[in-house]
A = this chain, B = another copy of it.
Amino acid sequence: MKKRLAECRVTVVGLGLMGASLCLDLSQHTLCREVRGVARRTDTVLDAFFAGAVDLATNDLYTGILGADIVILATPVRTIVHMLEELGPRLWPGTLVMDLGSTKQTICAAMDRLPPGLQPIGGHPMTGKETAGFQAAEPGLYRGAPWILTPLPRTSPEALDLARELVEAVGARPMVLEAERHDRLVASISHLPFLLASALVHAVADTGAQDPAVWELAAGGFRDTSRVAASDTRMFLDILMTNREAVLDQLERFGQHVAELRTLLANGDEEALQAKLAISQQARARWQGRGSGDQGIG
Protein backbone atom coordinates (compact mmCIF):
# COMPACT_ATOMS: atom_id res chain seq x y z
CA MET A 1 0.00 0.00 0.00
CA LYS A 2 1.73 3.06 -1.26
CA LYS A 3 1.34 6.26 0.74
CA ARG A 4 1.62 9.73 -0.79
CA LEU A 5 3.05 12.73 1.04
CA ALA A 6 -0.23 14.63 0.63
CA GLU A 7 -1.99 12.09 2.88
CA CYS A 8 0.65 12.15 5.61
CA ARG A 9 0.83 13.70 9.02
CA VAL A 10 4.45 14.84 9.35
CA THR A 11 6.05 15.50 12.73
CA VAL A 12 9.36 17.33 12.88
CA VAL A 13 11.18 16.94 16.19
CA GLY A 14 13.58 19.82 16.82
CA LEU A 15 12.72 23.29 15.52
CA GLY A 16 16.17 24.74 14.98
CA LEU A 17 17.34 26.08 11.65
CA MET A 18 16.93 22.82 9.76
CA GLY A 19 13.74 21.49 11.33
CA ALA A 20 11.89 24.78 11.31
CA SER A 21 12.90 25.61 7.73
CA LEU A 22 11.51 22.23 6.68
CA CYS A 23 8.24 22.92 8.51
CA LEU A 24 7.95 26.29 6.79
CA ASP A 25 8.30 24.67 3.36
CA LEU A 26 5.88 21.85 4.15
CA SER A 27 3.27 24.24 5.58
CA GLN A 28 3.49 27.08 3.09
CA HIS A 29 2.94 24.84 0.12
CA THR A 30 0.48 22.49 1.88
CA LEU A 31 2.58 19.54 0.84
CA CYS A 32 1.16 17.17 3.44
CA ARG A 33 -1.98 16.64 5.48
CA GLU A 34 -0.62 18.11 8.70
CA VAL A 35 2.69 19.49 9.96
CA ARG A 36 3.53 19.16 13.61
CA GLY A 37 6.54 20.51 15.41
CA VAL A 38 8.09 19.36 18.66
CA ALA A 39 10.51 21.67 20.47
CA ARG A 40 12.10 21.54 23.88
CA ARG A 41 11.63 25.21 24.70
CA THR A 42 8.16 26.71 25.15
CA ASP A 43 9.31 29.90 23.41
CA THR A 44 10.08 27.93 20.29
CA VAL A 45 6.76 26.08 20.48
CA LEU A 46 4.90 29.39 20.55
CA ASP A 47 7.10 31.01 17.89
CA ALA A 48 6.64 28.09 15.51
CA PHE A 49 2.88 28.04 15.95
CA PHE A 50 2.37 31.77 15.57
CA ALA A 51 4.75 31.96 12.61
CA GLY A 52 2.47 29.49 10.86
CA ALA A 53 5.34 27.03 10.48
CA VAL A 54 3.23 24.18 11.88
CA ASP A 55 -0.41 23.18 12.37
CA LEU A 56 0.36 21.95 15.85
CA ALA A 57 3.32 22.73 18.10
CA THR A 58 4.13 21.06 21.39
CA ASN A 59 6.95 20.38 23.76
CA ASP A 60 5.51 17.00 24.57
CA LEU A 61 7.25 14.49 22.32
CA TYR A 62 4.55 11.82 22.61
CA THR A 63 1.72 14.21 21.78
CA GLY A 64 3.73 15.36 18.82
CA ILE A 65 4.28 11.94 17.32
CA LEU A 66 0.84 10.47 18.04
CA GLY A 67 -0.60 9.23 14.78
CA ALA A 68 2.23 10.62 12.65
CA ASP A 69 2.91 8.92 9.32
CA ILE A 70 6.35 10.49 9.00
CA VAL A 71 8.57 11.46 11.94
CA ILE A 72 11.65 13.56 11.14
CA LEU A 73 14.28 13.95 13.84
CA ALA A 74 16.05 17.28 13.45
CA THR A 75 18.20 17.59 16.57
CA PRO A 76 21.94 17.16 17.16
CA VAL A 77 23.17 13.69 16.19
CA ARG A 78 23.44 12.10 19.62
CA THR A 79 20.04 13.42 20.65
CA ILE A 80 18.65 11.69 17.57
CA VAL A 81 20.23 8.44 18.74
CA HIS A 82 18.69 8.77 22.23
CA MET A 83 15.30 9.65 20.79
CA LEU A 84 15.31 6.66 18.48
CA GLU A 85 15.72 4.43 21.53
CA GLU A 86 12.87 6.11 23.37
CA LEU A 87 10.50 6.51 20.46
CA GLY A 88 10.60 3.02 18.98
CA PRO A 89 7.86 1.42 21.10
CA ARG A 90 5.57 4.45 20.74
CA LEU A 91 5.38 4.79 16.97
CA TRP A 92 2.66 3.32 14.76
CA PRO A 93 3.65 0.38 12.63
CA GLY A 94 4.60 1.53 9.18
CA THR A 95 5.75 4.98 10.29
CA LEU A 96 8.52 6.44 8.16
CA VAL A 97 11.31 7.55 10.52
CA MET A 98 13.72 10.06 9.00
CA ASP A 99 16.40 12.37 10.37
CA LEU A 100 18.47 15.36 9.30
CA GLY A 101 21.67 14.46 11.19
CA SER A 102 25.06 15.32 9.72
CA THR A 103 26.63 11.91 10.33
CA LYS A 104 24.89 8.71 9.37
CA GLN A 105 26.58 5.55 10.65
CA THR A 106 25.72 5.96 14.33
CA ILE A 107 22.18 7.03 13.51
CA CYS A 108 21.56 4.21 11.03
CA ALA A 109 22.83 1.68 13.58
CA ALA A 110 20.30 3.06 16.09
CA MET A 111 17.61 3.04 13.40
CA ASP A 112 18.29 -0.61 12.79
CA ARG A 113 17.40 -1.33 16.41
CA LEU A 114 13.87 0.12 15.96
CA PRO A 115 10.98 -2.37 16.22
CA PRO A 116 10.51 -4.31 12.97
CA GLY A 117 7.25 -2.66 11.89
CA LEU A 118 8.86 0.76 11.45
CA GLN A 119 10.46 2.13 8.27
CA PRO A 120 13.67 3.99 9.07
CA ILE A 121 15.80 5.90 6.58
CA GLY A 122 18.74 8.17 7.33
CA GLY A 123 19.09 11.57 5.69
CA HIS A 124 21.37 14.56 5.47
CA PRO A 125 20.43 17.66 3.52
CA MET A 126 23.63 19.41 2.38
CA THR A 127 22.49 22.88 3.25
CA GLY A 128 22.33 25.16 6.27
CA LYS A 129 24.08 28.23 7.51
CA GLU A 130 26.22 29.06 10.49
CA THR A 131 23.42 30.79 12.38
CA ALA A 132 21.43 28.27 14.36
CA GLY A 133 17.98 28.22 15.90
CA PHE A 134 14.35 28.83 14.99
CA GLN A 135 14.93 32.52 14.31
CA ALA A 136 17.37 31.66 11.53
CA ALA A 137 14.86 29.40 9.74
CA GLU A 138 13.74 30.35 6.27
CA PRO A 139 11.51 28.90 3.56
CA GLY A 140 13.38 27.61 0.53
CA LEU A 141 16.49 26.60 2.50
CA TYR A 142 16.51 23.16 0.86
CA ARG A 143 15.97 24.32 -2.71
CA GLY A 144 18.61 22.93 -5.04
CA ALA A 145 20.62 21.26 -2.26
CA PRO A 146 21.71 17.62 -2.42
CA TRP A 147 19.86 15.63 0.27
CA ILE A 148 21.61 12.37 1.02
CA LEU A 149 19.36 9.42 1.85
CA THR A 150 20.86 6.36 3.52
CA PRO A 151 18.25 3.57 3.47
CA LEU A 152 18.83 0.48 5.60
CA PRO A 153 18.58 -3.06 4.25
CA ARG A 154 15.21 -3.26 6.02
CA THR A 155 13.84 -0.07 4.42
CA SER A 156 11.06 -0.91 1.96
CA PRO A 157 11.06 0.53 -1.57
CA GLU A 158 7.78 2.29 -0.74
CA ALA A 159 9.34 4.01 2.28
CA LEU A 160 12.29 5.12 0.15
CA ASP A 161 9.85 6.48 -2.46
CA LEU A 162 7.96 8.45 0.17
CA ALA A 163 11.24 9.88 1.52
CA ARG A 164 12.26 10.88 -2.01
CA GLU A 165 8.87 12.52 -2.54
CA LEU A 166 9.35 14.62 0.58
CA VAL A 167 12.89 15.62 -0.41
CA GLU A 168 11.80 16.62 -3.89
CA ALA A 169 8.72 18.41 -2.57
CA VAL A 170 10.95 20.97 -0.82
CA GLY A 171 13.12 21.34 -3.92
CA ALA A 172 16.13 19.28 -2.82
CA ARG A 173 17.89 16.61 -4.91
CA PRO A 174 17.78 13.12 -3.32
CA MET A 175 21.05 11.16 -3.53
CA VAL A 176 21.19 7.60 -2.16
CA LEU A 177 24.50 6.69 -0.46
CA GLU A 178 25.68 4.14 2.07
CA ALA A 179 26.09 5.60 5.55
CA GLU A 180 29.79 4.77 5.76
CA ARG A 181 30.54 6.39 2.41
CA HIS A 182 28.51 9.46 3.38
CA ASP A 183 30.46 9.88 6.59
CA ARG A 184 33.81 9.55 4.83
CA LEU A 185 32.88 12.17 2.22
CA VAL A 186 31.44 14.74 4.62
CA ALA A 187 34.49 14.39 6.87
CA SER A 188 36.38 15.84 3.92
CA ILE A 189 34.10 18.64 2.73
CA SER A 190 32.36 19.64 5.93
CA HIS A 191 34.00 18.46 9.16
CA LEU A 192 37.58 19.19 8.09
CA PRO A 193 36.69 22.76 6.98
CA PHE A 194 35.03 23.33 10.35
CA LEU A 195 38.14 22.32 12.31
CA LEU A 196 40.42 24.39 10.06
CA ALA A 197 38.21 27.40 10.46
CA SER A 198 38.34 26.97 14.23
CA ALA A 199 42.14 26.66 14.23
CA LEU A 200 42.39 29.71 11.95
CA VAL A 201 40.30 31.82 14.31
CA HIS A 202 42.50 30.66 17.20
CA ALA A 203 45.65 31.65 15.27
CA VAL A 204 44.23 35.07 14.40
CA ALA A 205 43.10 35.52 18.01
CA ASP A 206 46.68 34.83 19.13
CA THR A 207 47.86 37.56 16.78
CA GLY A 208 45.05 39.80 18.01
CA ALA A 209 46.10 39.31 21.62
CA GLN A 210 49.40 41.03 20.72
CA ASP A 211 47.96 43.50 18.22
CA PRO A 212 44.18 44.00 18.16
CA ALA A 213 44.41 45.91 14.86
CA VAL A 214 44.34 42.49 13.18
CA TRP A 215 40.56 42.41 13.66
CA GLU A 216 40.19 45.73 11.85
CA LEU A 217 42.20 44.53 8.88
CA ALA A 218 40.45 41.19 8.61
CA ALA A 219 38.41 41.30 5.42
CA GLY A 220 36.69 38.91 3.05
CA GLY A 221 39.50 36.33 2.89
CA PHE A 222 39.33 35.78 6.63
CA ARG A 223 35.55 36.17 6.68
CA ASP A 224 34.89 33.34 4.26
CA THR A 225 37.66 31.00 5.35
CA SER A 226 36.56 31.25 8.98
CA ARG A 227 32.79 31.45 8.50
CA VAL A 228 31.91 27.91 9.57
CA ALA A 229 33.82 28.37 12.84
CA ALA A 230 30.75 30.35 13.96
CA SER A 231 28.60 27.19 13.72
CA ASP A 232 26.82 25.76 16.73
CA THR A 233 29.50 23.95 18.77
CA ARG A 234 27.07 21.58 20.46
CA MET A 235 25.90 20.34 17.07
CA PHE A 236 29.44 20.03 15.77
CA LEU A 237 30.69 18.22 18.86
CA ASP A 238 28.16 15.47 18.15
CA ILE A 239 29.22 15.37 14.52
CA LEU A 240 32.91 15.09 15.36
CA MET A 241 32.41 12.49 18.09
CA THR A 242 30.30 10.27 15.83
CA ASN A 243 32.70 10.52 12.87
CA ARG A 244 36.02 10.48 14.65
CA GLU A 245 38.03 8.06 12.53
CA ALA A 246 37.12 9.67 9.22
CA VAL A 247 37.78 13.17 10.56
CA LEU A 248 41.17 12.14 11.97
CA ASP A 249 42.06 10.65 8.57
CA GLN A 250 41.17 13.90 6.86
CA LEU A 251 43.14 15.96 9.37
CA GLU A 252 46.13 13.74 8.71
CA ARG A 253 45.84 14.20 4.96
CA PHE A 254 45.35 17.94 5.31
CA GLY A 255 48.33 18.15 7.67
CA GLN A 256 50.54 16.54 5.03
CA HIS A 257 49.58 19.16 2.47
CA VAL A 258 50.15 22.01 4.92
CA ALA A 259 53.55 20.56 5.81
CA GLU A 260 54.45 20.29 2.13
CA LEU A 261 53.45 23.89 1.43
CA ARG A 262 55.39 24.98 4.50
CA THR A 263 58.54 23.18 3.40
CA LEU A 264 58.37 24.59 -0.13
CA LEU A 265 57.94 28.10 1.27
CA ALA A 266 60.68 27.70 3.88
CA ASN A 267 63.09 26.40 1.22
CA GLY A 268 62.11 29.11 -1.23
CA ASP A 269 61.34 26.42 -3.80
CA GLU A 270 59.24 28.77 -5.89
CA GLU A 271 58.65 26.55 -8.87
CA ALA A 272 57.29 23.64 -6.85
CA LEU A 273 55.31 25.99 -4.61
CA GLN A 274 53.63 27.65 -7.55
CA ALA A 275 52.93 24.25 -9.13
CA LYS A 276 51.24 23.02 -5.95
CA LEU A 277 49.21 26.21 -5.57
CA ALA A 278 48.19 25.98 -9.22
CA ILE A 279 46.79 22.47 -8.71
CA SER A 280 44.46 23.63 -5.94
CA GLN A 281 43.64 26.83 -7.82
CA GLN A 282 42.52 24.81 -10.83
CA ALA A 283 40.65 22.17 -8.81
CA ARG A 284 38.75 24.89 -6.94
CA ALA A 285 37.94 26.77 -10.14
CA ARG A 286 36.79 23.55 -11.83
CA TRP A 287 34.46 22.77 -8.94
CA GLN A 288 33.02 26.29 -8.98
CA GLY A 289 32.59 25.98 -12.75
CA ARG A 290 30.34 22.95 -12.26
CA GLY A 291 27.87 25.27 -10.60
CA SER A 292 28.22 23.43 -7.30
CA GLY A 293 29.31 26.70 -5.76
CA ASP A 294 25.77 27.99 -5.91
CA GLN A 295 24.47 25.56 -3.32
CA GLY A 296 23.76 26.33 0.29
CA ILE A 297 26.00 25.38 3.15
CA GLY A 298 27.01 21.82 4.04
Contact = CB atoms under 8 A, between A and B. Distances in A.
Contacts of A129: 220
Interface string A251-272: 1011101100110011010100
A248 B220 CA distance: 22
A91 B266 CA distance: 37
A229 B207 CA distance: 22
Interface in A191-239: 192-207, 211, 213-234, 236-237
B219 A248 contact: no
Contacts of A203: 188, 192, 250, 253-254, 257
Contacts of A227: 224-225, 284
B127 A280 contact: no
Residue from A177, A224, A292 having most chain B Cβ neighbours under 10 A: A224
A251 B241 contact: no
A234 B271 CA distance: 11
A5 interface: no
Contacts of A224: 224-225, 227-228, 297
Number of identical monomers bound together in the oligomeric complex: 2
Nearest to A241: B270
A223 to B, nearest CB: 5
A63 interface: no
Contact of A193 (B198, B225, B277): B225
A interface, size bucket: 35 or more
A186 interface: yes
Residue from A253, A266, A277 having most chain B Cβ neighbours under 10 A: A277
A286 to B, nearest CB: 9
A219 B276 contact: no
Contacts of A280: 197-199, 201-202, 205, 229
Residue from A234, A284, A288 having most chain B Cβ neighbours under 10 A: A284
B204 A188 contact: yes
A66 interface: no
A207 B184 contact: yes
A126 B214 CA distance: 12
Interface in A65-111: none
Contacts of A201: 280, 283-284
Given A225-B228, A281-B229, A146 B219 contact: yes
A-B complex: 7 closest residue pairs judged by Cβ atoms = A220-B297, A219-B298, A201-B280, A193-B225, A199-B257, A188-B207, A202-B257
22 contacts: A146-B217, A181-B211, A184-B211, A185-B207, A188-B214, A190-B219, A190-B221, A196-B200, A198-B257, A202-B276, A202-B279, A202-B283, A205-B283, A207-B250, A223-B288, A223-B292, A223-B293, A224-B227, A233-B278, A241-B270, A244-B266, A248-B262
